[in-house]
Copies of this chain bind each other. A is one copy, B any other.
Amino acid sequence: MATNFPKLNEREEEILEAVVHLYITTAEPVGSRTVAKRLNLHLSPATIRNVMADLEEMGYLTQVHTSSGRVPTDLGYKYYVSKLMKVQELTIAERQKIEQELTKKLDSAEQILKHTSQLLALASHQAGLAELPNEKNAVIRRIDLIPLGEKQVAVVIVDSFAGVHSSLFTFEETVPSQIIEPLNKFLNEALFDVSLDRISVVLKENLRKLFDERRKFLEIAFRILSKIEPSSSHMILEGANNLFDQPEFQEPGKIKSIFGIIEDPTPLVKALRESLARGEKQRQTVLIGSDANIKNTEEFSVVASPYMLENQDTPIGFVGVLGPKRMPYEKISAIVDYTASMVGKMLSRFWR
């Protein structure tokens, strides 16, 4: 997407930086006097006014009304995030806090990521989000058919991230009980190390190879497994109530948009995946306002970083922070990056 930013000289950059920074911390439109005071350049408000007018013309700032201070536009934030801000180093204490929290419970990827999401919310005072390792990267470790009644079978799949997926199926005819055992064995052999999203493809292949009575089993198995909906874009969102404290989310309409995101985070997940894919591999992405082009996210920003297993370079999911556009990016960017790297480390325990 590589936005085409109108060129700025040094002074303009400094003033844009000041306006964004001040607006982020105060939530009030920023006037020329305030900028003059903050900046150590011995410039008068009048001069600053001229520059701000230029910045407005270029699309970086805007006014709430004709004679109010300036507020950054989405473009302004974007310029700030990609060119001006200096990512804040985390203190040792902060790093330790994150490590500590993440090394606590670790029975499955789901637990780790739920924990991560909460941790991010806590550390950022915004909402935390975490995507489970996606189906492409989770492979089958073990598959179990559990006959429940004559016509019912439960399928339990445990994946390489210790994720448990279960589905229940009711057949029209009776499923003979002596089928289960060999079928089970067969499935474990055929599907071991197969990624979740390739189940039906692999099964179809195997179906062709066989002719004997086992084919009958397989057909049943296929019917069972082809119905398993990939647990899909499973995203964990925690701490949304932190957002209520932000002054911009006091209006009913805005609050509802938070609800909208929680209710169906799928479009957001999709947008983030795309944005991450579009950028450099392994690099953090920041979606600002209507960047994502999704309903309800006009007033939000998301900072997200991919995580990957140790010694690998393919991202398998992401973690991030969701908050108002007016968000302390310097800090949050660091938190998200560091947390993502820790998550990768933790998850590596499950691989093999």
Q: A107-B170, A154-B164, A240-B259 are in contact. List 6 more A-B contacts (CB 8 A).
A: A106-B170, A141-B148, A146-B158, A154-B162, A156-B156, A164-B166
Q: A244-B259, A256-B244 are in contact. Are A148 and B158 (CB under 8 A)?
A: yes
Complex interface: stretch among A84-92, A247-255, A331-339: A247-255
At the interface, yes or no: A269 with Cβ under 8 Å from chain B? Answer: no
Which of B106, B154, B263 makes the CB contact (< 8 A) with A241? B263
Flag if A156 contacts B146 (CB, 8 Å): yes
Flag if A154 contacts B158 (CB, 8 Å): yes
Q: 1/0 contact trace for A133-169 toward B, CB 8 Å?
A: 0000000011010101000101010100010101111
B contact residues around A244 at 8 Å (CB): 252, 256, 259
Q: A241-B263, A256-B241 are in contact. Are A148 and B162 (CB under 8 A)?
A: yes
Contact surface of A with B, Cβ cutoff 8 Å = 106-108, 111, 141-142, 144, 146, 148, 152, 154, 156, 158, 162, 164, 166-170, 240-241, 244, 250-252, 255-256, 259-260, 263
B contact residues around A252 at 8 Å (CB): 244, 250-252, 255
CB proximity of A142 to chain B, nearest CB, Å: 5
What is the bound-complex CA distance between A167 and B162, given in angstroms? 10
CB proximity of A254 to chain B, nearest CB, Å: 9
Interface of A is mostly: mixed
B contact residues around A167 at 8 Å (CB): 107
B contact residues around A168 at 8 Å (CB): 107-108, 111, 162, 164
B contact residues around A251 at 8 Å (CB): 252
What is the bound-complex CA distance between A284 and B209, given in angstroms? 58
CB proximity of A123 to chain B, nearest CB, Å: 19
B contact residues around A154 at 8 Å (CB): 142, 158, 162, 164
B contact residues around A250 at 8 Å (CB): 252
Q: A250: nearest residue on chain B (CB-CB)?
A: B252
Flag if B152 contacts A162 (CB, 8 Å): yes
What is the bound-complex CA distance between A240 and B263, given in angstroms? 9
What is the bound-complex CA distance between A250 and B142, given in angstroms? 50
